[in-house]
């Protein structure tokens, strides 16, 4: 059975939270870390998960469970440009 968009988002949210829990409280992850962790192949297919990972990160941010940052500073989705990181809320 194919995974729905909502199921994928929930799975990616869990992957993000699991990665953050395994890191130091002050550490952050790259969205590509979550995409690679969630991808079930050994080729470059993880790249197709980058936008869904970003959506999952914004969901977590809206729920107060994570922060999306650029250059170490929290950003809103409207401000987000370039390389982003995901961390626990501070």
Total number of domains constituting the chain: 1
Alpha-carbon gap, residue 52 to 35, rounded angstroms: 9
- The 3-state DSSP class for residue 9 equals helix
Instruction: Give the burial class of 79: count Cβ atoms within 10 A of its Cβ; 0-12 exposed, 13-18 middle, 19 or more buried.
Output: exposed
Range of the domain at 40: 5-87
- pTM for this structure? 0.94
User: Which H helix or E strand runs over 80?
Assistant: none
Could you read off the pLDDT of 34-64 as tens digits, one per residue?
Answer: 999 999 998 999 999 999 999 999 999 999 9
Could you read off the pLDDT of 6-40 as tens digits, one per residue?
Answer: 999 999 999 999 999 999 999 999 999 999 999 99
The enclosing domain of 56 has a CATH number of: 1.10.10.10
15 near 61, Cβ under 8 Å?
no
| Nearest Cα to Cα of residue 31 among 64, 5, 7, 61 | 61
């Amino acid at each position: 059975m194919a995974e729905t968009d909502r199921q994928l988002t929930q799975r990616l949210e869990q992957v993000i939270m699991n990665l953050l829990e395994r890191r130091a409280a002050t550490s952050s992850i790259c969205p590509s870390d979550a995409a690679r962790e969630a991808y079930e192949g050994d080729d470059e297919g993880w790249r197709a998960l980058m936008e869904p990972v970003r959506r999952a990160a914004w969901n977590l941010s809206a729920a107060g469970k994570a922060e999306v940052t650029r250059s170490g500073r929290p950003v809103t989705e409207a401000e987000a440009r370039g390389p982003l990181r995901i961390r626990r809320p501070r």
